[in-house]
Amino acid sequence: KAGVTQTPRYLIKTRGQQVTLSCSPISGHRSVSWYQQTPGQGLQFLFEYFSETQRNKGNFPGRFSGRQFSNSRSEMNVSTLELGDSALYLCASSVGGRTYNEQFFGPGTRLTVL
């Protein structure tokens, strides 16, 4: 069974640009969550999508947004990039839409903002 895939694996952008990251969940999984991981803050929850609807949202500014498609694939977008947005962005999928289901993570997208 294929795992969670994320593309691209690495990105380099400059301040002010925008970026779109993609996530394909495990087949049959309908919930996709996004997390930001930095050395200082660790893993922080961005948002969760289930059946194309955003169910939960973490404490991040509106520059961070996402969406989910009918095939459960998800994208997240960061507009007006700042240096502090440099991080590993992780996508996780689970079977149901509740956070107490096991979440399985992808390899992440490493974003560097210059």
Residues 87-106 that bind other proteins (CB under 8 A): 90, 92, 98-106
- Taking the C-alpha atoms of residue 76 and residue 92, their distance in angstroms, rounded to an integer, is 13
Give the nearest distance from C-beta 92 to other proteins in angstroms: 8
60, 76, 6, 12: CA torsion to nearest 10 = -80
Q: Is 2 in the site for other proteins (CB under 8 A)?
A: no
| Binding track over 24-43 against other proteins, x by CB under 8 A | ---------x-x------xx
Q: Is 78 helix (H, G, I), strand (E, B) or coil?
A: strand
The SS3 call for residue 76 is strand
Nearest to 77 by CA among 52, 107, 100, 46: 46
Q: Which of 48, 49, 76, 81 contacts other proteins by CB under 8 A?
A: 48
Does position 60 bind other proteins by CB under 8 A?
no
Binding site for other proteins (CB under 8 A): 4, 33, 35, 42-48, 56-59, 90, 92, 98-108
